Chain A
Amino acid sequence: MNKKDILLCIILLVISLSLYLIFNLFQDKGNKKAIVYYDSKEVLSIDLSNKEYQEYTVKGYNGDVRIESLNGMVRVKEEVSPLHLCSRQGYISKSYESIICLPNKIVIEIEGSSNIDTIAR
């Protein structure tokens, strides 16, 4: 191998390494979002970096579920269920928090970097 080959080797190495770094940089570092699921399927994504008041309606098992977001927080405003547990829960904002509306099969989770994988209760 002559000098040119070694140079080629180095160039390829550099390319590999930069590819690796690019791969790693392409991780989700997006805005904080609230994701609404109905029966495991994502039905709505709310951008929580938008601090303005926003209102949404999604279909739940028992009927419409009204959701509001404000100042990076999200809550269920109104829903059709016997105990209204999820509208009574109020606002959530931390990435490990979630709102679960069992009768409506609606789950709202906050997506964003968190070091908590799951919550025992």
Chain B
Amino acid sequence: MIKVNKGNRKYLIGIIIMVLIIIAIFSIIFIDYQNKHLKEISRDYFYMDTYINVKVYSNNKKKANKALDEIENIYKTYHNLTDRYNSNELGLYNLNHGNNDIDDKLLEMIKYADSWYDKTGGLLDITIGNVVDVWKKYRDLGSGIPTSEELTTANINHDDMIINDKVILNNNVSIDLGAISKGYTTQIVGEYLKSVGLTKFIINAGGNVLVGDYYKQSSDTYNVGIEDPTNNNSLYQIVKVNNKAIVTSGGYQRNYTYNGVTYNHIINPKTLYPANNMQSVTVICDSSSMADALSTTLFLMSVDDGLAFIDNYDAEAIWYLNDGTIVKSKGFSIYE
């Protein structure tokens, strides 16, 4: 033990306080620096016929990479389960070809998608598969359009799909989950990231966006650009969001022109023809699955019907009409 006299003790206390203050200052600086400079860990995936990018912001690179591995599994699993053109065990292809034994995850997705049928007055109809295929045949050819007879023959009554603890398809119904699968799977990925404590992320699944908390430690928000449907090198709107899904439905990415008329890939189950009320519509809401369902529905509706419809939901929308007019839902301005 070192003997200290009164004067020295005072001096010692002074030094200790000083050291503590310095440690505190350095800690604050260090934490602040770390928060402002979280590492961006990014990965690309190629599933569901699209390019998917997930960015996670964290100081724990190992944890983030592990999560990104798991996300690969999620997209791969749902890709296989919802693929209509390749045989897959417990998946949609086999279901559409008479095998009722499907994975619970697929059953859940079908139930969710079909829950929109009544809510949308039959506009979101997953039993449209055969009609989609008829149009796909002509789109792949790049010319011609189906006769109305071809379309009505392919069209199956929605009631021919029976869902309980199984899905039973009568009269060769073919389910198509294209309206929902990307948004639904992205929602699962977002929930997974939050469940493992990685709350700061940007998921972009072929233009379907889901963002988490902002990656910088401030009250700021992400800036998400919405692409101009008539010019893919420019943006027509920027929205400021955190913890939101932004999903666009538009006919401008997958289409073909025949006799001067452009036919896109989103088929109205009422008319059996591609919808052409607008160039595109983008929905912002909390859930990516809901955003996907709503954007498809709005794309099939007239703008006026859509404005009334979206009012029933905790969601906002922006329309890009055929003549270039921009229409926004009532509360859209909170994101501007």
Interchain CB contact under 8 A, B225 and A96 = yes
Binds A, one of B20-28, B86-94, B118-126: B20-28
Closest 7 CB pairs of A and B: A121-B207, A121-B227, A1-B14, A120-B246, A40-B44, A117-B222, A116-B225
Q: Tell me the bound Cα distance from A73 to B90 in angstroms.
A: 47
B residues in contact with A105, CB < 8 Å:
44, 46
Within 8 A of B (CB), among A49-107: 89, 92, 94, 96-97, 100, 102, 105, 107
Contact of A23 among B33, B46, B232 (CB under 8 A): B33
| Contact partners of A119 in chain B: CB under 8 A | 204, 207, 209, 224-227, 235
- In the complex, the answer to whether A96 meets B235 with C-beta atoms within 8 Å is yes
A116 close to B238 (CB less than 8 A) = yes
CB distance A12 to B224 under 8 Å?
no
Binding site for A on B (CB under 8 A): 11, 14-15, 18, 21-22, 25-26, 29, 32-33, 36-37, 42-44, 46, 49-51, 53, 202, 204, 206-209, 211, 222-227, 232-233, 235, 238, 246-248, 250, 253, 282
Q: Is A102 in contact with B46, judged by CB distance below 8 angstroms?
A: yes
Question: Does the CB pair A20–B33 fall under 8 Å?
Answer: yes
Query: Closest residue of chain A to B29, judged by CB?
Result: A20
Query: How far is A103 from B3 in the complex, measured between Cα atoms in Å?
Result: 78
Contacts of B32 in A (CB 8 A): 20
Interface centre among A16, A19, A121 (most CB of B within 10 A): A121
A-B contact count (CB 8 A): 93
Q: Are A121 and B253 in contact (CB under 8 A)?
A: yes
Q: Which of A13, A39, A96, A115 touches B44 (beta carbons < 8 Å)?
A: A39
Known contacts A24-B33, A120-B208, A121-B250; 7 further A-B pairs (Cβ under 8 A): A16-B25, A97-B233, A105-B44, A116-B224, A117-B202, A118-B204, A120-B247
On whether A8 and B18 interact (CB within 8 A), knowing A20-B29, A89-B232, the answer reads yes
Residues of the B chain whose Cβ atoms lie less than 8 Å from the Cβ of A37? 44
Q: Which of A9, A24, A89, A120 contacts B226 (CB 8 A)?
A: A120
Question: Which chain A residue lies CB-closest to B208?
Answer: A120
Min Cβ gap B290→A in Å is 15
Could you tell me the distance in whole angstroms from the C-beta of B10 to the nearest C-beta in chain A? Answer: 8
Shortest beta-carbon distance, A100 to chain B, in Å?
A: 5
Closest to B203 in A: A118
Residue from the list A19, A94, A118 in contact with B29, Cβ < 8 A: A19
Known: A89-B232, A96-B235, A97-B233. A118 touches B224 (CB 8 A): yes
* Cβ-defined contact, B224 with A16, below 8 A: no
Contacts of A40 in B (CB 8 A): 42-44
Instruction: Tell whether, in the assembled complex, residue A116 and residue B43 are in contact, meaning their CB atoms are under 8 Å apart.
Output: no
B207 and A120 within 8 A (CB): yes
In the complex, which residues of chain B have a beta carbon less than 8 angstroms from the beta carbon of A39? 44
Q: Check if B25 sits within 8 Å of A13, measured CB to CB.
A: yes
Q: How far is the CA of A94 from the CA of B238 in the complex (A)?
A: 15
